[in-house]
Structure 1
């Protein structure tokens, strides 16, 4: 479904993602895993189109942008906006009907069903600013349910989320892959990856390993990823204008 071809993405002229190539397995859950500063979120944002590569490309096969749902980190979302829970969930219909398109009764039923599924039907009219981190993350997952996307991208979906909420949301992810959807998630918890993500891309700016999680998450490879990330932080090359590195 998604293929990366020699992908390099820079930040302030230093490569955050460096010559990454490989394919994500369709209909499975893949974790993007690695130490802090490994380029994981940068890669995810490039896949969803928010960042432009310096070189290389992201190839989408059999999936359009409208088939994609993206969940950013909570820190990137302005929760001070006067938006209710049900309105945020219902915004998941915009990709299909447009920003000014009409949301009908059937769409309202879908939004309500999504809230019920994440256990927040009693919070429908509350402002999102009044929610805890865990409750707000449930709302964002409900919005993804409404989008009904074939490809789901999640950026650190369990940060600052309580254990009960994490377990419920992981169950949703398991359900999505059981339905044949493709899930790609940036994660930091190795046990979550082993239990729920059959595939792992281990990164430290570049690919350390990519494949079955049980093989990728070998202690030697994890140690190599940490050492490589530390080297990148200390010795990152500078990207030239043409996208090459010096």
Structure 2
């Protein structure tokens, strides 16, 4: 689904990862792991198109419009004056456009997604009044409404209670079984080992893949070329 061609990612022209070559195969479920500052979130943002590569390029076999992005909670505006149901309905924008109306069928999908994450009772609430776990459930409901082929999630379980984590992991497994491709930044190794067949460990000097089989996504890494 995604090909990395001599890709280095970082900030202001300075790479924080080695040079990356290879592909994420369609239908794979990959955890990005490594120490803070190793480039996990930066790689994810570059894949999402939110940051330009420092060098090299990415290519996609599916339109970026079929991608769904979930940033860290610290990057989310929680005080914007919308209701929970309106926030989830934003996941319909690919179907109706930013200025189009929500159809009855779309609204039913929004309510069904809220029910799936046990947040239907909070449909009229303001996102700023929710706990961290409740807000993450709502954001996952928006992902479900998007029906994206590729999910990019940055530390989706940080600061979330165990019950919510189990629910959200079950939803991710469900999307994976439906053929969705997932790339997720994670720190909790027991979660990684239990749920994620593929793992990519990043550092400033080297990378390591694990949990791969011959039919699963493979990435080959080269040393960062010095300028």
Deviation at 1:44, TM superposition (A): 0.2
Query: What residue number does 1:223 align with?
Result: none
Deviation at 1:207, TM superposition (A): 4.7
Query: What residue number does 1:38 align with?
Result: 38
Query: What residue number does 1:49 align with?
Result: 49
Q: TM-score by structure 2 length?
A: 0.91
Q: TM-score by structure 1 length?
A: 0.84
CA distance in 1, matches of 2:201, 2:58: 18
Query: What residue number does 1:122 align with?
Result: 121
Tell me the SS of whatever aligns to 1:17.
Answer: coil
Tell me the SS of whatever aligns to 1:42.
Answer: helix
CA distance in 2, matches of 1:38, 1:52: 17
Query: What residue number does 1:139 align with?
Result: 138
Runs of 4+ in 1 over 6 A off after TM superposition: none
Query: What residue number does 1:229 align with?
Result: none
Query: What residue number does 1:99 align with?
Result: 98
Judging changes above 3 Å, is the alpha-carbon distance between structure 1 residues 2 and 211 closer, same or farther for their aligned structure 2 residues? farther
Instruction: Say whether the 8 Å CA contact 2:13–2:54 is kept in structure 1.
Output: no
Pairwise CA RMSD: 1.6
Higher helix share: 1
Query: What residue number does 2:173 align with?
Result: 174
Report matched runs for 1:68-107 at 5 Å: 68-107=67-106
How many residues were matched structurally?
217
Structure 2: segments with no counterpart, 5+ residues: 214-223
Structure 1: segments with no counterpart, 5+ residues: 215-236, 238-243
1:23 equivalent in alignment to 2:23? yes
CA distance in 2, matches of 1:23, 1:191: 25
